[in-house]
Structure 1
Amino acid sequence: MSQFIGVDIGTTRTKVGCYDTDTGRLVALRHTPTPTEADPWGGRRDAGQVTGTVDALLRQLLADPAVRPAALAGVSVGSVGEEVVLLSGAGRVTAPVLVWHARHGRLAQQTDPLVGPWAGIDDTFSVCKLRWLARHLPETVAAARTFTSLADHVARDLLADPAAPVFLNISHASRTGLLDLRAGTLHAGALPELGLPGLAAPELVSSATVVGRTSGAGVLPAGIAVVTGGHDHMCGAFGSGVRRTGDVYVSAGTSEAQLLLLEQLPESLAPGVDAGVFVAGGLRFVHRATPSGRYYRAWRNLLYADVDDATMWDELAGVADETGPAVIDADHQRAQLAALPMEITRAHAMASLLKGLAVEAEKTTARLGQLAGTAIADVTIGGVAAAWPAWRRLRQEATNRRLRFVAEPEPTVLGVAVLAQLGTTGTADLPAHLITADNEGTLADEHR
């Protein structure tokens, strides 16, 4: 009877989709590259261009015959969590948005490392980007009075109300470096000691919170609930049915993120593992990201730039049994191909790499379970790669666990849209079509 819109501002592509409660599916989807500008440190974005991109996609979505404007009840926005938007007292953007994986934060840490509670912090976190801006573009920070995440900035723009309070959802706050995870509050008083004395903390709100309704002055019709979203990986997990303590989700994208849901966080975290607040259920998570998708693209560009995906996966399927897994070093900077035939083809090399990455993924699952003191039986995997049987086979052969592969090609867009449903109605659908046919049962069966 109702429809909900999900907006996913990804690293490389921005997508908007309409979820229909009658069908239990995304009935319309539009996407385009996320605006990015090159710079010497790895990239930045113009927040105005991003909001313009989202508006253009929403106009296209509303023109789709499957979308019923009168049935639209809510909209939510998700994005990578570390990309931060600086805002003046009048709500004007004062600085570029630094791309989450770029080297700005690393440079800031090398120049003036954070100490105390922030010692050893992930240099992609928002505080490291803010420190880079304070040192390299100080006028942009001096003009700002607060900040928020890229997704929440876009969501606030959808309200078309310049007087709306600046808010930050707690899922994205988990990636700022400013969230006290145990207390669930922002370290607002820490901003001066971080070299950011002129900034005030935004209003912290939970994911799936209604922050207002569209006025009709923007691209969307009036009266639609605007609901806070969350980090894209967490929204993808939620959309894939990963919602219970002990559930593990692998998001196979640019960065392969793996997370484990918990009721309580462990006392300490291992190097390379971070933690945060999940988008629903009051749960926490421990998380580790590896650049598997980036390595895959580098090798694909080297070995298979001249063919389409189907041709490549057909080749891999034919030689997978003839190769062993690459041995990948602990810091994921080098790989040694192993157990290859004497008459090697490009398919052997690629299969060896993917097998090695599958082994590393299993190691990460085991380490997260050991860290949390939790037994893990099943792992749910979403992302474009999971659509290919050869990739699924390589992953399954690397573990004794049962892997559940998500058939929905856009689990993050779906998850953001269902978060809008949760915030608006208090309930969140669990679409039954999510899991691939080569798994036993369906997701809905397992949650009954």
Structure 2
Amino acid sequence: MLTALGVDVGTTNTKVALVDVTVPRVLAVASAPTPSPRDAATVLAGLVARVLPAGPAPVAVGIASMAETGVPLGPDGTPRGDWLRWDGHRAGAAAHALAARIGRADLFAATGVRASAKIPLATWEWLRSHDPDALHTAAGTGRWAGAADLVGLLLTGRLATDHTLAGRTGAYRLGRPGDLPTAFDADLLAEVGLRPSQVPEVLAPGELLGPIVDGPFTDAGLAAGTPVTIAGHDHPVGTWAAGVRRPGEAADSVGTAEAVCTILASDPAPAPVAAAGMSLVRTVTGEHPALLAGSSSAGAAVGWWLRTRASGVDVDALMADVADLGDAPLDLLVLPYVSGRQTPDPDPTATPRVLGAVDGRSTAQATFGLLAGLALQARRMLDEQSRLAGTGAPSSVAVLGGPMTANPAWLRLKARMSPTALRLVAEAEPVAAGAALLAADRVGALDGAAPAIPSSPVPRTGPGADVVDALARFVAAAREPAR
């Protein structure tokens, strides 16, 4: 047996998994609410200690994380405050100012990301006026660490990131597949008053971060000298782990947020991608371009629904009742935009709406409408990516993430709405497993190509005429001006 360790620093929880990378399968996983930067070493070392007894010592460690999230560091590497997260909405005015100064279209063409409140470039501009001591004063001694970058620093003493995370900041040029930049862009950093020395190094695809050094992680049982890699942005890491590695294939990764990623043969025109609210990215190996669409209305929308419409209800029993509805009519749908809509038709003012009459329906029937709306939102993202790429529906779609394995009713509706057959990656922690797989692959521990996490076909009954009609009603309602 050959093992590697995968770390996934998520929006809600952080997971550490010991993975048999030859199968692959997760031997043990431990999780905790994502800790503050100051507590990260203690919490992560505790999670590592819990999983290591499940198998042989890992040959490598891989780190994946949410993107657009980080923390300023002092000269000694100590975090200055809490995470500045992707969903904080603090930097909207700063993003608008940057777009006006740089040019909204020019910034997207250069970086593949839109000028929005979530990108660190806007956060850095916001810090310059709201907390200059964090990065911009004291002779510029402050540095920025993304979530995965901080974990890598704690493990190895080196601050670096990979291109999939750097590419979400707004300060890293997109580059050509197979020829990616190895540093943040100095001119873009200068726009917000920073220098290249204040941000992480950017590792080339496949480059290792370094060896584990003595400290809390060796105390937890990891061997000093074990190689570490920054696996990358959680969604692309999960996409790769699911075996979605060739043009025409797509992945739908569902967690607190949802991301749909379609791999392309060539770059589309940037302006329509930006207008659609999507990003143009590179795969974790750097070989192919890809379109990435994000929605905050996934697990977060389910949580909102349960708080506001099903408070006090046994969730497992409710979802079992929803599953028992099978392929019920799609006459009630919910627009699930609890935090606006990023794509398609970006609208930060979008709010949840119920299409159809709720009176006389059970809680399960109304919840069916919510899950149907979530499935239709994912279908919209897939359809828009196919349109932007100028291709037909993807040849395959891999669905992954804890909610998909835990909620058969949601998965059934997703398969019913999909333009093509789905396959389910049933592993509950695909990102942590993918980080471990990438680490083993990058140290040359695997024979041949890295295997994908096992998946299985999802039975489907659609899409039929009822789905076509429901999608049309959903899209028309989503495009209506806010009331």
TM, length-normalised to structure 1: 0.86
Residues 78, 229 of structure 1: 8 Å contact kept:
yes
Residues 4, 440 of structure 2: 8 Å contact kept:
yes
Residues 207, 229 of structure 1: 8 Å contact kept:
no
Structure 1 residue 10 and structure 2 residue 10: aligned? yes
Match of 1:442 in 2: none
Equivalent in 284, 289, 293 of residue 294 of structure 2:
289
Structure 1 residue 265 and structure 2 residue 258: aligned? no
* Distance apart, 1:291 and its partner CA: 2.1
Q: CA separation in 2, counterparts of 1:225 and 1:25? A: 21
The Cα offsets for residues 308-365 of structure 1, whole Å up to 9 and x where unpaired, read as 4431122112345144252638538234433557621111211112212212211210
* Distance apart, 1:371 and its partner CA: 0.6
Name which of structure 1's ranges 82-91 and 331-340 shifts more when overlaid on structure 2.
331-340
Secondary structure of 1:191's aligned partner: helix
Structure 1 residue 192 and structure 2 residue 197: aligned? no
Equivalent in 425, 431, 437 of residue 412 of structure 1:
431
Match of 1:445 in 2: none
Please tell me the residue identity of whatever aligns with 2:242: S
Q: CA separation in 2, counterparts of 1:122 and 1:421? A: 35
Structure 1 residue 128 and structure 2 residue 126: aligned? no
The Cα offsets for residues 257-313 of structure 1, whole Å up to 9 and x where unpaired, read as 111112432121232111222212522221111122222210122233324443112
Secondary structure of 1:270's aligned partner: helix
Match of 2:476 in 1: none
Distance 1:33 1:175, change over 3 A: same
Structure 1 residue 435 and structure 2 residue 433: aligned? no
Q: CA separation in 2, counterparts of 1:341 and 1:140? A: 50
- Cα RMSD after superposing both structures: 2.5
Secondary structure of 1:237's aligned partner: helix
Q: Gaps (5+ residues) in structure 2?
A: 109-113, 338-344, 461-483
Match of 1:98 in 2: 84
Equivalent in 416, 421, 425 of residue 402 of structure 1:
421
Residues 323, 348 of structure 1: 8 Å contact kept:
no
Matches within 5 A, 1:205-244: 205-219=203-217, 220-244=222-246
Secondary structure of 2:384's aligned partner: helix
Matches within 5 A, 1:296-445: 296-319=302-325, 321-326=328-333, 328=335, 331=347, 333-340=350-357, 343-375=360-392, 376-387=394-405, 388-425=407-444, 427=446, 429-431=450-452, 433-435=454-456, 438=459
Q: CA separation in 2, counterparts of 1:129 and 1:288? A: 21
Q: CA separation in 1, counterparts of 2:132 and 2:216? A: 32
Distance 1:104 1:51, change over 3 A: farther
Q: CA separation in 2, counterparts of 1:191 and 1:60? A: 40
Match of 1:168 in 2: 161
Match of 1:446 in 2: none
Match of 2:25 in 1: 25
Q: CA separation in 2, counterparts of 1:437 and 1:340? A: 31
The Cα offsets for residues 216-260 of structure 1, whole Å up to 9 and x where unpaired, read as 444121221111210011111122111111211111111111111
Q: CA separation in 2, counterparts of 1:173 and 1:425? A: 24
Residues 253, 383 of structure 1: 8 Å contact kept:
yes
Please tell me the residue identity of whatever aligns with 2:29: L
Distance 1:15 1:389, change over 3 A: same
Distance 1:209 1:435, change over 3 A: farther
Residues 323, 339 of structure 1: 8 Å contact kept:
no
The Cα offsets for residues 186-245 of structure 1, whole Å up to 9 and x where unpaired, read as 312322222335854432113442121123444121221111210011111122111111
Structure 1 residue 182 and structure 2 residue 175: aligned? yes
Name which of structure 1's ranges 122-131 and 318-327 shifts more when overlaid on structure 2.
318-327
Distance 1:335 1:100, change over 3 A: closer
Residues 84, 98 of structure 1: 8 Å contact kept:
yes
Residues 134, 142 of structure 2: 8 Å contact kept:
no
The Cα offsets for residues 107-134 of structure 1, whole Å up to 9 and x where unpaired, read as 5336775532348513201111112222
Residues 82, 149 of structure 1: 8 Å contact kept:
yes
Report the count of equivalent residues.
421
Match of 1:153 in 2: 150
Equivalent in 43, 55, 58 of residue 67 of structure 1:
55
Residues 322, 340 of structure 1: 8 Å contact kept:
no
Equivalent in 38, 43, 55 of residue 48 of structure 1:
38
Please tell me the residue identity of whatever aligns with 2:18: C
* Distance apart, 1:423 and its partner CA: 1.0
Q: CA separation in 1, counterparts of 2:235 and 2:32? A: 19
Secondary structure of 2:209's aligned partner: strand
* Distance apart, 1:51 and its partner CA: 2.8
Among the aligned pairs, what percent are the same residue?
A: 27
Q: CA separation in 2, counterparts of 1:92 and 1:156? A: 10
Please tell me the residue identity of whatever aligns with 1:52: T
* Distance apart, 1:87 and its partner CA: 3.4
Residues 243, 453 of structure 2: 8 Å contact kept:
no
* Distance apart, 1:145 and its partner CA: 4.5
Distance 1:426 1:263, change over 3 A: farther
Match of 1:41 in 2: none
Q: CA separation in 1, counterparts of 2:400 and 2:66? A: 16
The Cα offsets for residues 107-164 of structure 1, whole Å up to 9 and x where unpaired, read as 53367755323485132011111122221111111243543322022112112x4xx4
Residues 239, 414 of structure 1: 8 Å contact kept:
yes
* Distance apart, 1:389 and its partner CA: 2.3
Q: CA separation in 1, counterparts of 2:209 and 2:359? A: 62
Secondary structure of 1:104's aligned partner: coil
